[in-house]
Amino acid sequence: MDQTGSEHSPKAIQRVIKVRRDYNTWVANETMEDYALRFTPRSYRKWTESRVANTAFGAAAFLVLEAVGATLLVNYGFVNAALAILATGMIIFLVGLPISIYAARYGVDMDLLTRGAGFGYLGSTITSLIYASFTFIFFALEAAIMAYALELAFGIPPAWGYLICALVVIPLVTHGVTVISTLQTISQPVWLVMLVLPFVFLLVQEPDAFAGITGYAGKGSTDFDIHLFGAAMAVGLALITQMGEQADY
């Protein structure tokens, strides 16, 4: 067999298309690469615990939580809503604790954890789709709240408000957690003040506004009801899906 031709055959020329070249450029830029979908090398994990916690806290500070809490209060009463919130928080904490430990220790995200837990490649893809769908729903709710806030403050129609809220987020998320963390650090004091200010204003204007809050029944009951408690917990436990986002942090 003549091997001369095979020994001197020209090597295959690798074609690097523009899309791949752009991707390699983005990956080389640490302000845009945050290893959201793959193993995070130890050399990249150089942030302090306080900075990571501050960034993750921003994900738990969205306005939908206030809306969910108010809905539980109105539909199930203070007693059932408060106990359901406490029980839900405890369950989410206990479930999320081992996930957070392994994610932080080995630098893997929720997708890789799911794959390593036995769900396989296809299973991890399905769970990622669930997380993404959950995130889209919350983004839509957040955009609706912000759009109506823009309408109340500046008279901007809700349709334009949705568009503004969607476009403002794009340049932030494309630069990864680094920019999000910086924005969170800058806006955190303002958010804390605005969170407390309505309660202070209400107490000044109506000192007795919270006098009967613990006995508020809403559409539910003033006493503990196992059915109302279970219904409130079902709503609260739906938030457990956000654990995938927290693990990525």
Query: What tens digit of pLDDT does each residue of 135-177 get?
Result: 777 778 888 888 888 888 898 898 898 888 888 877 777 766 6
Distance separating alpha carbons of residues 163 and 173, to the nearest angstrom:
16
Q: Is the pLDDT of residue 37 over 60?
A: no
Q: Is the pLDDT of residue 38 over 60?
A: no
pLDDT at res. 83: 92
Query: What tens digit of pLDDT does each residue of 177-200 get?
Result: 667 777 777 888 888 888 888 888
Highest average pLDDT, of 61-65, 67-71, 117-121, 184-188, comes from: 67-71
pTM here is 0.65
CB burial of 215-235 (b: ≥16 within 10 Å; e: otherwise) equals eebbebbeeebeebbebbbeb
Query: What tens digit of pLDDT does each residue of 8-25 get?
Result: 555 556 565 555 555 556
Dihedral in degrees, nearest 10, Cα atoms 152, 157, 160, 164: -10
Higher pLDDT, 69 or 108: 69
**Average confidence score pLDDT of the chain:** 75
Higher pLDDT, 59 or 93: 93
Q: Considering only CA atoms, which of 44, 48, 12 is closest in space to residue 31?
A: 44
Average pLDDT over residues 102-120: 70
Q: How far is the CA of 214 from the CAs of 111, 175, 228, in angstroms?
A: 42, 44, 16
Return the percentage of the chain with pLDDT > 90, whole number: 2
Q: Which pairs from 125-129 meet CB under 8 Å and 24+ separation?
A: 127/244, 128/244
- What residue type is assigned to position 8 of the chain? H
The 8-class DSSP code of residue 242 comes to: G
The 8-class DSSP code of residue 37 comes to: T
Model confidence at 31, in pLDDT bands (50, 70, 90)?
very low
Whether 148 contacts 157, CB under 8 Å? no
Distance separating alpha carbons of residues 225 and 231, to the nearest angstrom:
10
Dihedral in degrees, nearest 10, Cα atoms 109, 113, 41, 106: 120
